[in-house]
């Protein structure tokens, strides 16, 4: 499938005498192409200079049109790659950047809610303690949250955070704030690297109930360990993602 539009298809309905400003007309034309499927998910738009020249408008006007659609979650801009039509399912960038789901949702303009189900300090069991470079029994914060959008529950998250590096974290309100944001802004910790593993899994027990799916429903499972700039592990997490409401996409280069 070609990733370039034909030379005239975005210009035929621009009316410079109409009451609606040009940027609004352009955004509505692009919106119509996305909604009808003429521009399918992952379609890459022409570059800004090409589109602006084609439309005979300034790049500033074009950027206003694109910004409207980015804010509405229909387009996403990837530095060095271009502007893409998003999927009908939410597409976080967690496969290529060390961001949280809440940060991705905010960047894409996706409205979401977070329900904090568990927020308590507990003793780290041996396997988890080893991963976080702790002694068995050392305290960690256990954080269980359900993240939902207008389509319903999309992710069940279970995080374990070292309380020796973030004392008092159990008092923080994480309903409307990113965990990474709290660690970085409130505690001055510098999160730099992480390892994420993605696998397919079937919904069971509590996870199935939380996401509102039947037992055996296919989910995407993410396991993560996050590290600070000095190499110390700070956080371990398990995330189960509703496979029909959110998909993870990677943008790849050959070299």
| pLDDT top residue among 157 and 80 | 157
92 pLDDT band, cuts 50/70/90, is low
Q: Is residue 192 part of a domain?
A: yes
Write down the pLDDT at residue 115: 96
146 pLDDT band, cuts 50/70/90, is very high
Q: Is residue 250 part of a domain?
A: no
User: Which CATH number goes with the domain that contains 120?
Assistant: 3.40.1410.10
Q: Is residue 112 part of a domain?
A: yes
175 and 141 within one domain: yes
Neighbouring C-beta atoms of residue 231, cutoff 10 Å: 9
145 and 52 within one domain: no
Write down the pLDDT at residue 5: 40
User: Which CATH number goes with the domain that contains 76?
Assistant: 1.10.10.10
> Does residue 28 register a pLDDT over 90?
no
pLDDT in tens, 152-175: 999 999 999 999 999 999 999 999
On average, the pLDDT of the chain sits at 84
What domain range includes position 75? 22-85
216 and 116 within one domain: yes
> Does residue 188 register a pLDDT over 50?
yes
The residue-averaged pLDDT of 192-199 equals 88
Taking a C-beta distance cutoff of 8 angstroms, is the pair 140, 124 a contact? yes
What total of structural domains would you count in the chain? 2
Nearest-5° Cα angle at 106, 120 to 144: 20
233 and 202 within one domain: yes
175 and 55 within one domain: no
Separation in Å, CA 252 to CA 55, 80, 249: 30, 12, 10
């Amino acid at each position: 499938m070609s990733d370039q539009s034909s030379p005239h298809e975005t210009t035929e309905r621009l009316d410079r005498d109409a009451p609606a400003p040009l940027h609004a007309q352009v955004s509505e034309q692009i919106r119509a192409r996305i909604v009808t499927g003429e521009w399918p998910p992952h379609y890459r738009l022409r570059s800004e200079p090409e589109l602006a020249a084609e439309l005979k408008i300034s790049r500033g006007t074009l950027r206003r049109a694109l910004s409207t659609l980015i804010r509405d979650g229909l387009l996403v801009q990837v530095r060095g790659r271009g502007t893409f039509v998003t999927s009908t399912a939410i597409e976080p960038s967690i496969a290529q950047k060390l961001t949280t789901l809440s940060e991705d949702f905010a960047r894409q303009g996706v409205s979401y809610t977070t329900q904090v189900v568990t927020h308590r300090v507990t003793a780290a069991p041996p396997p988890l303690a080893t991963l976080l470079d702790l002694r068995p029994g050392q305290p960690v914060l256990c954080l269980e949250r359900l993240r939902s959008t207008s389509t319903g529950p999309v992710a069940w998250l279970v995080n374990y955070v070292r309380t020796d590096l973030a004392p008092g974290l159990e008092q923080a309100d994480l309903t409307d704030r990113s965990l990474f944001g709290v660690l970085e802004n409130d505690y001055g910790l510098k999160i730099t690297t992480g390892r994420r593993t993605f696998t397919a899994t079937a919904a069971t027990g509590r996870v199935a109930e939380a996401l509102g799916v039947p037992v055996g429903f296919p989910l995407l499972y993410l396991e993560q360990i996050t590290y600070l700039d000095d190499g110390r592990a700070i956080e371990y997490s398990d995330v189960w993602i509703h496979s029909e409401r959110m998909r993870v996409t990677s943008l790849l280069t050959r070299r």
